[in-house]
Structure 1
Amino acid sequence: MNFKPSLSLLDATMVVAGSMIGSGIFIVSADITRLTGSSGWLLLVWLITGFMTLTAALSYGELSAMFPKAGGQYVYLKEAYNPLTGFVYGWSFFTVVQTATIAAVGVAFAKFTAYIIPYFSEDILVWKNISRAQLLSIAVIFVLTFINTRGIKSGKLVQTSLTLIKLLSLAALIICGLVLLKPAVWTANWEDPWHLHSITTTGPYTIIAALGAIAAAMVGSIFSSDSWNNIAFIAGEVKNPQRNIGLSLFLGTLIVTFLYILANITYLAVLPLQEIAFAEKDRVAVAASHVMFGKAGTVLIAAMIMISTFGCNNGLILAGARVYYTMANDGLFFRRAGKLNQAAVPEFALWIQCIVACAWSISGKYGQLLDMISFVVVGFYMLTIAGIFILRKKRPDAERPYKAFGYPVLPIIYIVMGLSFCILLIIYKPGFTWPGLIIALAGIPVYYIVTSSRTGKP
């Protein structure tokens, strides 16, 4: 049984946008403001991130057109480099990147549910350190996994409908914020827009420390803009993948980047910088909605974030299992993960992903893991985009229905920016970078253990 091409261009674009928009845009601007201390730098951090995301998406279009099958980035790295590189990516994807992200988004859903239904408060413990919020997160992951085992049509219905709702809701929040703009607040926020400084410490940054602060600030924005490449993982289920995957990558990332910039302009239009930086539990969107709509605004934004995180997790769950399916067919993952059920979806891969994600939900460590995910993710993005240069040399005559826009300039710019970001994080946030690197590198001995057991060689 093979995958069924069921996803239209609209569906594919909604997978891209829906997987990107979770809870980050409603929260991380607080930390960015604390690190940069000004409105201009707040927006510039989001603009830099948006530029990197769009550049990477445009570059990925060439790879997705060359290899229009399930597996996405795992396949690209395997083809450009070797099976080991592909496996290390798949290992990192399964152990941390995708599963911990699913867990964190699930817990975010539960936390905002508690605004409306206090019964699910994260402060109410059921057993030892396990809260009702964590149990609700597990329930949501389980339900979405079950939905996706019923077939791609069930998953795409949830994804497309919820993504359209949250795009319209985010647009409505932006419009209301701009209409209800507070002139005094806006003027005060732009009095000294390029004074880069930390709000939580005294004294200006040195030049090197300023670069480190910008890199640290980008951790949140990069995480909020990640998972745009999930559509490439399910390429085998997209109609006319050579055209629609690249186009959906561009359209989805462009729409989300545009909305993210406008959302931050909305925050600046109604909240003083201090209130953005020190919003309760970093919930900037909640604070903005309270200013615009009063007490009812908290409930409205909580409901909106519930929809956003629910749809985001559906996209993550839908796409992630296809990577393990492809790895299994290469003999590098559990054999059963390489089988499709009667609905033509990798059911075992979905459930094993569910188990690991649920484990992260109750571990209590997902927050720290997500901080370091940005380092690992950007590192693999750089390797993948560099693979475009390698494949053009290795396979100059290969069919390329689409070629990377701006090649070689834009891909080189992304690699330079990504390398700078990773180096600065190693220097200024070693506690969040080395663990991620160690987990990724642990895949190397695992690869040799797997391949030696498969071939029977020592």
Structure 2
Amino acid sequence: MDEGSAATNGSTPHSKAPEKATVLQKDVGLVSGIGLIVGTMIGSGIFISPKAVLLYSGAVGPCLLIWAACGVLATLGALCYAELGTMITKSGAEYSYFMEAYGPLLAYLYSWTTVMVLKPSSFAIITLSFAEYASTPFYPGCKPPLIITKCLAAAAIFFIVSVNCLSVKLARYVQNFFAAAKLFIIFIIVVAGIVMLAQGKTETFSNSFEGTKSSFGAIGLAFYNGLWAYDGWNQLNFITEELENPYRNLPLAILIGIPLVSVCYVLVNVAYFTAMTTTELLLSPAVAVTFGDRVLYPMSWIVPLFVVFSTFGAANGSCFTAGRLAYVSGREGHMVKILSYISLKRYTPSPAVIFNGTLAIFYIIPSDINTLINYFSFAQWVFYGLAALSLIVMRYTRKDLHRPVKVPIFIPYLMVLVSCYLVLAPIVDKPELEYLYCTVFIFSGLLLYYPFIYKKVQWAHKIMNPITMHLQLLMEVVPPDKIE
């Protein structure tokens, strides 16, 4: 809601002008960009439950093919985002692209849904997963108490938010460290799998296509679950303004990071099949832990430890990018202005990061947040499809824009078709009222858009201006310099 910034001219707690412009600094290089992509894409899924793809594909052969095909689709989607990100070098990913292609209304509905639900609830789920695996060793033989898990998740959120408010560089180092930790444990699992193959453990691969499910719906659900594990390939586009040389580093990080994750996912699945039959894999509550117990003993404790590292790193990446979306949305007047303010001393979007963390803490309170996210996940693919469509639209409406990266036009068309299928498949396969509730929530944002953003009602400014001023003084933040 676009209230004026009452405390912008000379009313900051510091009279001296900062040495650097009050914008987010270009502190993220190529290695950190790859670390953000790898660290956010690889969460706990590949270690805990890769069995959904096997369940719906029916056999080892199609399962591995689907993991590889999902990697190809994720790479094609990310190539669309590479063109969009080098053409429109603003942070905020889909939000900035929707503003250019479709105008403010659709961009607002995207930011409303993503800032208020998708990003903070995703942050909450990842930290809950982290808390569960971090506390499990202290409760042998039973599940950790729910209150312990939730308190530990809240502590993780508080710590991650603090790191991201203190320093972009520190958050970057944390992300790079945990991305390296994930790749290390994947390397251990893959090498162990290769040793098992060399020892002749290939029984699971014989007749690998026997039992393949050929129904359109089953294969579609296998792809849906595989692509869910690859989710996060667009994360770098949320921080484009902070990338060093985005024209080079954005496409390069995408072309290195996503194929790297794809190869890791396929090889890890191959390793799992060397140690377990398909039935054993489907029955395992945590596949990587079962693998570790069978193959890495007496060092099997290393797997759950690195699952904890992996989930913590994914949570940090989620927090890092979510803050940028709220920041850009606030800068455009689609969220309260304080969210667009930057720390005067640390050059971090601390109000936006704190807001995301606060919502995440609220989301860990309900007993079953996973249900909510399952129903909202279809909305994520709506936005992916609209982003690919925006690339097609701007090929005709914004021919003047410089395009350092230009992908073949069939790629965005393919992504639009894939997105349509992934939105409709779960709804057609199992219609639920919750999908309707999610749709109603998305469009309920219009109730705020019309009076506060389109009409800019005056009484809202009068209420928000003093709140903004006091928060600005409390957090020592200032409005960003104008971005052209």
**Residues 442, 275 of structure 1: CA spacing in aligned structure 2 closer, same or farther, 3 A cutoff?**
farther
Whole-angstrom distance in 2 between the partners of 1:444 and 1:430: 25
Aligned match of 2:153: 137
Amino acid at match of 1:284: V
Aligned match of 1:250: 255
Displacement of 1:424 in angstroms is 1.6
Whole-angstrom distance in 2 between the partners of 1:435 and 1:296: 47
Amino acid at match of 2:334: L
Please say if residues 97 and 373 of structure 1, whose CA atoms lie closer than 8 Å, have aligned partners that are also in contact: yes
Aligned match of 1:100: 121
Shift >6 Å, 4+ stretches: none
1:69-84 matches, cutoff 5 A? 69-84=90-105
Match of 1:326 among 311, 325, 328: 328
1:374-406 deviation per Cα after TM superposition (whole angstroms, max 9, x unaligned): 3221211111011111111111121111112xx
Whole-angstrom distance in 1 between the partners of 2:42 and 2:186: 10
Amino acid at match of 1:168: F
**Residues 144, 32 of structure 1: CA spacing in aligned structure 2 closer, same or farther, 3 A cutoff?**
same
**Residues 221, 96 of structure 1: CA spacing in aligned structure 2 closer, same or farther, 3 A cutoff?**
farther
Aligned match of 2:379: 376
Whole-angstrom distance in 2 between the partners of 1:219 and 1:301: 26
SS at match of 2:346: coil
Please say if residues 122 and 133 of structure 1, whose CA atoms lie closer than 8 Å, have aligned partners that are also in contact: no
1:312-354 deviation per Cα after TM superposition (whole angstroms, max 9, x unaligned): 1111101111111111111111211010012111111111100
Match of 1:285 among 288, 302, 305: 288
Over the residues paired in the alignment, what is the CA RMSD in angstroms? 2.2
Amino acid at match of 1:161: F
Aligned match of 1:422: 423
Whole-angstrom distance in 2 between the partners of 1:448 and 1:48: 43
Choose 424-433 or 245-254, whichever is displaced more.
424-433
Match of 1:52 among 69, 73, 78: 73
Please say if residues 80 and 412 of structure 2, whose CA atoms lie closer than 8 Å, have aligned partners that are also in contact: yes
Structure with bigger gyration radius:
2
Please say if residues 181 and 270 of structure 1, whose CA atoms lie closer than 8 Å, have aligned partners that are also in contact: no
Aligned match of 1:411: 412
Whole-angstrom distance in 1 between the partners of 2:23 and 2:409: 36
Whole-angstrom distance in 1 between the partners of 2:409 and 2:118: 28
Amino acid at match of 2:251: G
Unaligned stretches of 5+ in structure 1? 126-130, 198-206
**Residues 410, 457 of structure 1: CA spacing in aligned structure 2 closer, same or farther, 3 A cutoff?**
farther
SS at match of 1:70: coil
1:9-408 matches, cutoff 5 A? 9-118=30-139, 123-125=144-146, 131-181=147-197, 186-197=202-213, 210-280=215-285, 283-294=286-297, 296-297=299-300, 299-341=301-343, 342-404=345-407, 407-408=408-409
Whole-angstrom distance in 1 between the partners of 2:340 and 2:158: 21
Displacement of 1:149 in angstroms is 0.3
Displacement of 1:88 in angstroms is 1.2
Please say if residues 127 and 311 of structure 2, whose CA atoms lie closer than 8 Å, have aligned partners that are also in contact: yes
1:168-220 deviation per Cα after TM superposition (whole angstroms, max 9, x unaligned): 221221111221238776324432425234xxxxxxxxx6xx22222223333
Please say if residues 204 and 276 of structure 2, whose CA atoms lie closer than 8 Å, have aligned partners that are also in contact: no
Whole-angstrom distance in 1 between the partners of 2:208 and 2:232: 34
Amino acid at match of 2:71: G
Whole-angstrom distance in 1 between the partners of 2:65 and 2:442: 30
1:225-244 deviation per Cα after TM superposition (whole angstroms, max 9, x unaligned): 11221111111111011221
| TM-score, normalised with respect to structure 2 | 0.85
**Residues 409, 27 of structure 1: CA spacing in aligned structure 2 closer, same or farther, 3 A cutoff?**
same
Displacement of 1:455 in angstroms is 4.6
Aligned match of 2:450: 448
Choose 324-333 or 114-123, whichever is displaced more.
114-123
Displacement of 1:363 in angstroms is 1.4
Whole-angstrom distance in 2 between the partners of 1:430 and 1:392: 36
Displacement of 1:7 in angstroms is 0.8
Please say if residues 451 and 457 of structure 2, whose CA atoms lie closer than 8 Å, have aligned partners that are also in contact: no
